[in-house]
Structure 1
């Protein structure tokens, strides 16, 4: 996606984090990382920021476990961010739809016929709508957290299985997990020239 969306992505992640910590259950940063699809270090950084702003307080449990609780200011901030992101998602849909369509048309023009998606979320659905406007075929969908599900008729598999079965272009189809998925693919020996990100110049 375009660099202009980075700030919106940051506040969106803050909204997701605030939404996850509304309960009183003790949650590890690793668990929050898994739920949100972002690195543990990033979760730690966001939490420190939210605590410093007075939006979140930390409650200790036995066995070195913690609960992150919303303060009244945190509840207000969550509502503000939710409202802000109504307009963000309208913008995201428009921009992502065009970015993916441009990418798919470029790939089609270069002779590509089949692609794989990596990452399943609301952005992947937008990408799929754009794909249907071209002659490209979606032959594989990878997402470690959603393996076993079905995405528009295509079974979702783990990254390792997807990379083993598909040797063609891999489209990063998640904005939230973009960097982590790119690193994971590189760790599975997928070359940079095989990985495509909409809105990012090649």
Structure 2
């Protein structure tokens, strides 16, 4: 029993770290038209909505965006971004942003909020919020692409990038109860095999 808990704890910790890195370091997991052009991460969608609605001060939005901007700069061998000019870097200051302009992509917006919230809340205790966010994002993006193909939506097509599946699997495996059940089921099947062999 204790070995099951240790395995589950290790798997959950590693999976959550992967999920956290994908969300907070802004690994592109989709492409969808948004207010700043094309948004590729849940954090970009969430930040543009937070800036538009003035719910949080810009300092908090910059603090959310900075780790990803820093990771992108290091990866692309560019200069480290200035914290003050971060909103300009993401083009949040370049066009008029209204809070209602993304409401027709409600699943993508809600999924982005839940994904980012799941990554932040998971630092205290990983839960299902991130998984629900990713599932909602996938549903919204599939719905967008179906609407585009049927001619109902004349904007650029939305699509899912391969890193989305990494985020989905890591969000699922960060839920300790589910991982324990999987390990117990696997061990139970192994025991039955040995019994009948």
Same fold (TM over 0.5): no
Choose 1 or 2 for highest CA Rg.
2
Q: Larger relative CO (CA 8 A, sep 6+): 1 or 2?
A: 2
TM-score, normalisation: structure 1: 0.24
TM-score after normalising by structure 2: 0.25
Task: Give the helix-richer structure, 1 or 2.
Answer: 2
Larger fraction in strand: 1
